[in-house]
Amino acid sequence: MKNNKILVLVVILVYVFLCGPLLIIGATAFNSGNIMSFPPKGFSFRWFAMVFQSETFMTTLGISFQVAVLATLIALIIGIPAAYALSRKNYRGKNIVQNIFISPIIVPGVVLGFAFFRFLIIKLQFGVFLSLLIGHVIIVIPYIIRVIGSSLDNLDFSIEEAAVSLGATKLRAFFLIVLPNITSGVIAAFMLAFINSFNNVPASLFLTGPGVSTLPISMMSYVEYNYDPAISALSVILMAMTVLIMFIIEKTLGLSHFTK
């Protein structure tokens, strides 16, 4: 009985540790004062209005969504066949290929960002947006391959072989048999890759430029020179958007059905 009480206490402390900062940020977002403080002084929505009136925040929010969605879709187009080949085929040098695909996770983000800057912008002289997009595609591909690869490892490929034996082509069997059976993995990979791309700071710091920046970089730059609750309000908006996206996915795609 005593051990159960200790376990409950530990769980409560963990929840406080995880949720406490979010609750503090949420409370400071409604502060009526000009300085971020907790507990908040007064109650006001003016910082939320300030966020929507800020051209910088709205522009970089649009760029972040655009880059994250495009990078994730391109990474899916590349990552799904790559994950299939790694799971389905055995060949010499397979471990080397796997390590190459996973390397963007192992290499520190700052080092990766500087490498992108030197190669994409300095050497190849790509535009800022294109360089940012390519960098994010490379960053999220490992997440796509790992998640979808795990789904493929749990798939019984005999059903694909049965479809081929009944006259379906390999490509048709993949789209009609394999892909529907790994839908949950594709959805999970998309969400994980999108979140990592949207929130990326180290690589984006090197790949942004005049007129092209992401929201995390703008938020970091804003905090350097301002200490008002605008960032708290923006954080609350982003948390609300995340909850809304999860709700829409649940209602339209039935995420709980796929993850059971």
Looking at this protein, which amino acid is placed at residue 155? L
Tens digit of pLDDT for each residue in 77-120? 999 988 888 887 776 766 777 777 777 777 888 888 898 988 88
Q: Which amino acid type is present at position 180?
A: P
Note the pLDDT of residue 258. 43
Tell me the CA distances in angstroms from 138 to 2, 19, 38, 74, one per residue in order: 50, 32, 40, 10
Spans of the chain below 50 pLDDT: 257-260
Contact 178, 84 (CB under 8 A): yes
Each residue of 222-245: pLDDT tens digit? Answer: 888 888 888 888 888 888 887 787
For residue 53, what pLDDT is reported? 87
pLDDT of residue 73: 94
Give me the pLDDT at residue 229, please. Answer: 83
Paired strand residues for 212: 209
Can you give the residue ranges of every domain in the chain? Answer: 57-228
51: exposed, middle or buried (Cβ count in 10 Å: 0-12, 13-18, 19+): buried
Is 173 in contact with 83 (CB distance < 8 Å)?
A: no
pTM of the model: 0.82
Task: Give the per-residue pLDDT at 156.
Answer: 79
Residues 6+ positions from 147 with CB-CB distance below 8 Å: 185, 188, 189, 192
Question: For residue 134, what pLDDT is reported?
Answer: 93
Q: Does domain 57-228 have CATH number 1.10.3720.10?
A: yes
94, 159 in Cβ contact below 8 A? no
